[in-house]
A = this chain, B = another copy of it.
Amino acid sequence: MIVVMKPEAAEGELEQVLETVPEEEYDSHVFRGVERTVIGLIGEGADKETLKNRLASHPSVEKVIAILDPYKLTSWKFKPEKTVIELGRVKIGGKAPVVMAGPCAVENEEQLLTTAREVKKAGAEILRGGAFKPRTSPYSFHGLGERGLKLLARAREETGLKIVTELMDIEHLGLVAEYTDIIQIGARNMQNYPLLSAIGSLRQPVMLKRGMSATIREWLLAAEYIMTEGNHQVILCERGIRTFGEETRNTLDLSSVPLVKEISHLPVIVDPSHGTGRWELVRPMARAAVACGADGLIIEVHPEPRRALSDGPQSLRPDKFHLLMQEIKEMGSYDDRNTDRVLPSAI
């Protein structure tokens, strides 16, 4: 940690600052530069965040700069092998990108089964569908609840697809966990820490969506909340961030894919449906996601978007989804860490 003193700081103030540092945890080195005095702290204390804040609270301190990243369980240092989540034969984080697809919300049996059959035929391996829906307005459709979960289970039985669905609160934890293969934590709940801790006590894969205005750091620390409780099966999902852009629902930040892969062993998938909010942009951005190294995609597909109860404008019709799957297969996958690229033929 680096502590930069204000130019006008007196010697007595410097000493006060030094007293704040726990001696048993850190060695302090003082440098008197031309313009500023700077303290370098070498060591590894238990609660660095608190120490940083305390140092920064001294009126004579200009700023405190942390040198080390705060990541533990999510980092390559903790686990030097890539995390691969296995659901039977489906492997997320393995050689080929995995595709999750299905409607935004489960609406009824026919809608769900039609979609499940179509996405299965096109090559998807996991079926998505919301039974509990977070909606900005209290006056919108909020999902079928348990009935939706039962329909998802029926679709799994018929098609063999695995299931991913969202959990919104601790109250429904047992219920959702019973039906689904992967528990989805939505963007709005990325910093709902009690919920993160609760799913951390399960041993079931979790897909953690990036919050609307979350930095990479905050996203990975949210994953650490789950992992510190013992559940290490975390999939990260980039779904777009909020910017000044007005022509798309969100700004899909694809650079987060290679960035996260530099820091962490966790698999990262991309949601171009929420990331753009417009079906015309889903195919090109899905290809781009795979090209920059995503371990998978989650795509909204609806047999008749104009009758959808939610997210119709960003849902693909089955024919467009088939086209997308074809393109993805031709691309193969990319892994900049190992540089040996998996060619299309290998998939």
Show the binding face of A for B, using Cβ within 8 Å.
2, 4, 7, 16, 20, 29, 31, 33-36, 38, 40, 42-44, 47-50, 53-58, 65, 67-68, 70, 72, 77, 134-141, 168-171, 188-189, 191-195, 212-213, 215-218, 221, 224-225, 228, 241-248, 251-255, 257-259, 262, 275-276, 279-281, 283-285, 287-293, 305-313, 315, 323, 327, 331, 334, 336, 339, 341
Among B141, B192, B213, point to the contact of A213 (Cβ < 8 A). B213
Among B194, B212, B242, B258, point to the contact of A281 (Cβ < 8 A). B258
The 16 listed contacts between A and B (C-beta, < 8 Å) are A7-B77, A29-B29, A47-B139, A53-B308, A56-B313, A70-B139, A171-B194, A188-B193, A243-B243, A243-B244, A246-B246, A247-B259, A248-B259, A255-B285, A259-B281, A288-B291
Residue in B closest to A169 when the chains form the complex, CB atoms: B194
For residue A149, give the distance in angstroms from its CB to the closest CB of chain B: 16
Residue in B closest to A19 when the chains form the complex, CB atoms: B306
Q: Which residues of B contact A54 (CB under 8 A)?
A: 306-308, 312
Among B56, B77, B327, point to the contact of A312 (Cβ < 8 A). B56
A169 to B297, CA, bound (A): 31
Among B50, B213, B243, B291, point to the contact of A309 (Cβ < 8 A). B50
The number of times this chain is found in the oligomer is 4
Pairwise interchain contact A255-B252, C-beta atoms closer than 8 A:
yes
Pairwise interchain contact B292-A287, C-beta atoms closer than 8 A:
yes
Among B228, B275, B283, point to the contact of A336 (Cβ < 8 A). B283
A225 to B215, CA, bound (A): 27
Among B139, B213, B251, point to the contact of A253 (Cβ < 8 A). B251
Q: Which residues of B contact A293 (CB under 8 A)?
A: 284
A180 to B294, CA, bound (A): 39
For residue A120, give the distance in angstroms from its CB to the closest CB of chain B: 23
A323 to B340, CA, bound (A): 12
Residue in B closest to A44 when the chains form the complex, CB atoms: B34
Pairwise interchain contact A247-B216, C-beta atoms closer than 8 A:
yes
A221 to B72, CA, bound (A): 37
Q: Which residues of B contact A315 (CB under 8 A)?
A: 57
For residue A187, give the distance in angstroms from its CB to the closest CB of chain B: 9
A290 to B54, CA, bound (A): 29
Q: Which residues of B contact A29 (CB under 8 A)?
A: 29, 31
Pairwise interchain contact A291-B284, C-beta atoms closer than 8 A:
yes
Pairwise interchain contact A40-B31, C-beta atoms closer than 8 A:
yes
For residue A319, give the distance in angstroms from its CB to the closest CB of chain B: 12
A93 to B228, CA, bound (A): 43
Residue in B closest to A60 when the chains form the complex, CB atoms: B306
Q: Which residues of B contact A43 (CB under 8 A)?
A: 33-34
A258 to B279, CA, bound (A): 11
